[in-house]
Structure 1
Amino acid sequence: MAKLSETISLDEIIVDLPRRIHDAPARQVAKAPDRIALVEDGAFWTYGELNQRVTETATVLSSLGIRPGDRMIIVSENCIALAALLLAASKLDAWAIVANPRLSARELDQIRGHSGARRMLFTSGISKEAAAHAARYGAERRQVGPLAEIGVGPLNESAAVEPVVADPAKQVAVLIYTSGTTGTPKGVMLSHDNLLISARTTAHFRKMTEGDKIYLVLPISHIVGISLLIMTLMVGGTVRMVSKYDPAATAKAIAEEGVTILNGVPATYQRLLEYKSISGAQQFARGKLRLIAVAGAPLDLNLKSRVEQEFGLPLLNGYGITECSPGIAGVRFDAPRADQAVGTLLPGVEARVRTIDGIPTTRGEVGELHVRGRNVMLGYYRAPELTAKVIDSEGWFNTGDLARFDGDCLYIVGRTKEMIIRSGFNVYPAEIEAVLSSHKDVVQSAVVGRAADGNEEVVAFVQLLPGSCTTRDDLMEFVRFQLTSYKRPSEIIVLDALPATSTGKILKHKLAESLAGEAALAPATYLT
């Protein structure tokens, strides 16, 4: 079992922890109500205004039939109105479900049906996708307290309330739907305690203060976006809301708006560098930027090096999962690394590595990562059998990720379900992807397995820079001396773009389905 790596204890970090996520800004409300809390294009709210307007919003939501224990879906891009609705739901002890407007009608219908939501709300003024969903559900556009142009969906009279408890460790704050590798959505129940502990711990090790301004481009419909919002409000910083990622706008905000922290997935930084190349800029102005962090997908060392050279800052890798609120491990602000490690465990998080059959591994050996702590979810909503499959009787959660420890430093090797067994050898896609993505013309890559005569083949999908003349022979030659024979791809497929979520995470199950002829992808060139 991996030891906790910090001398400071979790109890020391979470002293005076709020009991509900809407209480996260309370200290700053009392201390400096005129300080700016939230900013979006052309608008801002101070901490005092945030406090007052969340209360007003909660009052109107209550008049709209939202009760303690109800589920409430908010279909919205990142914006001030979304933050107000999320915190107002907490104030009512309702469960907030933040849904990305770019979900399909089918996906949104699945979430509504499974959750038994009381109402759906849409910030239709900020997004054409949200407006289209609002129209399809027959939502009425109206004022909700201080919030204008909110689509209010019909009341679900049959919605049943869930029990409400005072204990923040047992009361659900948000329900996040995640499909994982299966494509079937699961509702992750995260308590107020889950979210507040994870946010406070991460903020502590990033040395966040009220002087920080975070550029929130990762969607609040995902766990990282929610956590970043909560941690910034807890320390009294400023959240710069970003509805859709635009690398040109991001570069401008960093240079001119006093942004101090940028979080992203690898694709966030890849697109920034592409923009720089296309625009002909010499070098990005760093402004007040002091910390850049990445998570959500394997980090290519070539990309890491280029980003660090560009900004003159270490790119801090981290690891988390929705079911863990999300923080599990991270590279420390004061101890940057040059490799692909995801750092050391956060205080309060225990970890162990097991074989697929549940047998303890030897130190340094690859196996499934199990974690335990107050950051672990309450379970999957209305799916006790699924919960029992991933959380055992002692509270250990099986992440489904393959990992190893080197001392107290954690390395993520890949997903259990993505591991390819070729001629009896375990092949980890992340290793092959790292090699492919280090090629100067490869934007990103993804590797999946394909059944072949009782064996598995390695198939690589790559996205090349626009106008690239790279050939199959170039790529095969590039990997030949970097990978042993059983790890080399049998086939390379070039796509205009790899299918991905709104956060940039590649949808590997879509790629695997395409090999079986079950899904259509973007126009492709096949290099075999």
Structure 2
Amino acid sequence: MLELSETISVDEIAVGLPSRIHEVTAGPVARAPDRIALVEGGASWSYRELEQRVGEIATVLSSLGIRAGDRMIIVSENCIALAALLLATSRLDAWAIVANPRLSARELDQIRDHSGARRMFFTSGTSKEAAAHASRYGAENWRIGPLAEIGVGPLNESATVQPVETDPARQVAVLIYTSGTTGTPKGVMLSHDNLLISAKTTAYFRRMNEKDKIHLVLPISHIVGISLLIMTLMVGGTVRMVSKYDPAATAKAVAEEGVTILNGVPATYQRLLEYKSVSGVEQLSRGSLRLIAVAGAPLDLNLKLRVEKEFGLPLLNGYGITECSPGISGVRFDRPRSDQAVGTLLPGVEARVRTIEGFPTVSGEVGELHVRGRNVMLGYYRAPELTAKVIDSEGWFNTGDLARFDGDCLYIVGRTKEMIIRSGFNVYPAEVEAVLSSHKDVVQSAVVGRAADGNEEIVAFVQLLPGSCTTPETLMHFVRSQLTSYKRPSEIVILDALPATSTGKILKHKLAESLREGGAAPAVQTPEFRRQHI
């Protein structure tokens, strides 16, 4: 088994790194061209087929007017066609924008207009949502090389090309639109080097090789999905494409298909445990799993323990954000932890913790996390002022996350903008959420602040297990003994479901908006709620 070195440098890891993301398949093609690269349902492509077909697709895209420096939108769920289109875009030195078809028409329009995209492409044959968007945009179905039923939108004659850079650290590979906590989309420019170094570093510490098969449930329209795709192809492994997360299907795939790695957000694992509960399965099969990992949202310790007991594997927590491609830190494969730490920094990533005013903190003190390294984005597209606010002249990127270090181990406490100041005390929502989520009937929770008479109140939104009779009063009593008075919620709202992205990340800004607008809760699956005031 590969021995890991804690002293290895990022330069050592980067040896042999290609200059473009589509080139990651070159090694596997040379070593084992018939090994399966991509699987979707009953279809599969070998590495030889993938490289050949990506070339064919790039030729057709070029004939459709896609030029080096163009932005190209791909509206698609996870599928072989999406992976091939993404790699073909790289071959042309165009910028790929992968958009989830579950976005609204307004959201897609925003991305199209802001990016100045040359064309939009839709995997109409595999997604009814993508087909609906294609129809709205007047797209026509084309065969693009080996890909059937690809909706091709009208050519934007006014689209301008961006300069093409030979240096992979300066050439944009993907443009990812993220709203963060504000709800306003920002285009994150990630270079080929950003994506490649982050993927290779993570693959190194996960000891990934050609024998690995990853169950890709996290959407490629988000940074983690793209990174997982790249790192698996880089080592010559197999990617099983999953268009929409279904816990029953995931449990079956793990049990029967030789899946070795499963990545998810906390909600991914929570739903797996819910499936086990409602289906009456005595124990979820571990199959060939050797590694399970989680990121993207605060990890409840109770959930972590339950998942680890179920699979007999440590659930490895990690931390990253879109602007950092995404890897910043992770719990090491050979050094699992029993707490909620997000591990140690990845090689090549520097970090510092500062007060909100920008002053250094003392060891162990909570402050804003700033990071620097080859993984940090080039900036926000067409937003130089916004970029300047988060990346200083020395290359330090302000994550906007509140963090602390215990030795070399990193802990994420919450978001700067989410921190609640109640009667002069700082309240970190993650702490309150951890207590609420430890209740046996709570699926997940989200805590936000609400202005009240020159102060801030704490409002908790909670989702319960189906059929639970737990009330806000019960939960108030539950937290009373575990939280000091200023950390206790002023109100608890029970919802059928919390608003979330396709990856399961809770949209706290929507919950906060509902409070400012005086409503009881956002419209999420027509929730019914009960209220409790203290």
| TM-score category of the 2 structures, normalised to the smaller one | over 0.9
Q: Alpha-carbon deviations, 1:171-224, whole Å to 9, x = none?
A: 000000000111110000000000000000000000000000000000000000
Provide Cα deviations, 1:303-333, integer angstroms capped at 9, x if missing partner.
0000000000000000000000000000000
2:531 is the counterpart of 1:527: yes
The one-letter amino acid of 2:403's match is: A
Matching residue's letter, 1:35 = R
Aligned to 1:54: 54
Distance 1:477 1:338 in 2: 27
Tell me how far apart the structure 2 counterparts of residues 161 and 308 of structure 1 sit (CA, whole Å).
49
What TM-score, normalized by structure 2, do the two folds share? 0.97
Cα displacement (A) at 1:125? 1.0
- Aligned residue number for residue 112 of structure 1: 112
The offset of 1:497, in angstroms, is 0.3
User: Could you report, residue by residue, the CA deviation over 1:127-183 in whole angstroms, capped at 9, with x for unpaired residues?
Assistant: 111000000000000100110010000000000000001100000000000001111
**Contact preservation (8 Å) 1:493, 1:524:** no
1:360-407, Cα deviation, whole Å (9 max, x unpaired): 000000000000000000000000000000000000000000000000
1:499-514 maps to which residues of 2 (within 5 A)?
499-514=499-514
Name which of structure 1's ranges 464-473 and 403-412 shifts more when overlaid on structure 2: 464-473
Identity %: 85
CA RMSD of aligned residues (A): 0.8
Corresponding residue for 2:381?
Answer: 381
Deviation sequence 1:209-264 (CA, Å, 0-9, x none):
00000000000000000000000000000000000000000000000000000000
Alignment correspondent of 2:435: 435
Any idea what SS the aligned residue of 1:525 has? coil
Q: Distance in 2 between matches of 1:50 and 1:302?
A: 42
* Inter-partner Cα distance in structure 2 for 1:348 and 1:359: 23
The residue aligned with 2:454 is 454
Please give the secondary structure, in 2, of the residue aligned with 1:524.
coil
> Paired residue for 1:398?
398
Matches of 2:449 and 2:183, distance apart in 1: 18
Q: Secondary structure of the equivalent of 2:530?
A: strand
Identify the residue that residue 316 of structure 1 maps to in structure 2: 316
Shift of 1:72: 0.1
Q: After TM superposition, where is structure 1 displaced by more than 6 Å over at least 4 residues in a row? A: none
Contact 2:441 2:470 in 1 (8 A): yes
Partner in structure 2 of residue 187 of structure 1: 187
Shift of 1:6: 3.0
TM alignment of 1:82-481, pairs within 5 A: 82-481=82-481
What is the CA distance between 1:476 and its match in structure 2?
Answer: 0.8
Per-residue CA distance 1:484-505 (angstroms, 9 max, x = gap):
0000000000011000000000
Instruction: Give the whole-Å Cα distance in 1 for the aligned partners of 2:303 and 2:371.
Output: 29
**Alpha-carbon distance in 1 for matches of 2:71, 2:142:** 20
What is the number of equivalent residue pairs in this alignment? 524
Q: State the AA in 2 paired with 1:487.
A: K
Deviation at 1:474, TM superposition (A): 1.3
Q: How many angstroms apart in 2 are the aligned matches of 1:213 and 1:416?
A: 37
Residue identity opposite 2:159 in structure 1: A
Counterparts of 1:363 and 1:87, CA distance in 2: 44
Letter of the structure 2 residue corresponding to residue 149 of structure 1:
E
Judging changes above 3 Å, is the alpha-carbon distance between structure 1 residues 70 and 518 closer, same or farther for their aligned structure 2 residues?
A: farther
**Residues 38, 45 of structure 2: 8 Å contact kept:** yes
Q: CA deviation at 1:518?
A: 6.8
Structure 2, unaligned stretches of length 5 or more? none
Structure 1 residue 526: deviation in Å?
Answer: 2.3
Distance 2:142 2:508 in 1: 40
- How far off its partner does 1:521 sit? 2.3
Look up the SS of the partner of 1:23 in the other structure: helix
Secondary structure of 2:151's partner? strand
Once the two structures are superposed, residues 447-471 of structure 1 have per-residue CA deviations (whole angstroms, 9 ceiling, x without a partner) of 0000010000000000001110112
Gaps of 5+ in 1: none
The answer on 1:17 being equivalent to 2:21 is no
Distance in 2, matches of 1:415 and 1:526, equals 27
Report SS of the residue matched to 1:509: helix
> TM-score when scaled to structure 1?
0.99
What corresponds to 2:490 in structure 1? 490
Gap change, CA 1:518 and 1:74, over 3 Å in 2: farther
- The residue aligned with 1:37 is 37
Instruction: Determine helix, strand or coil for the equivalent of 1:24.
Output: helix
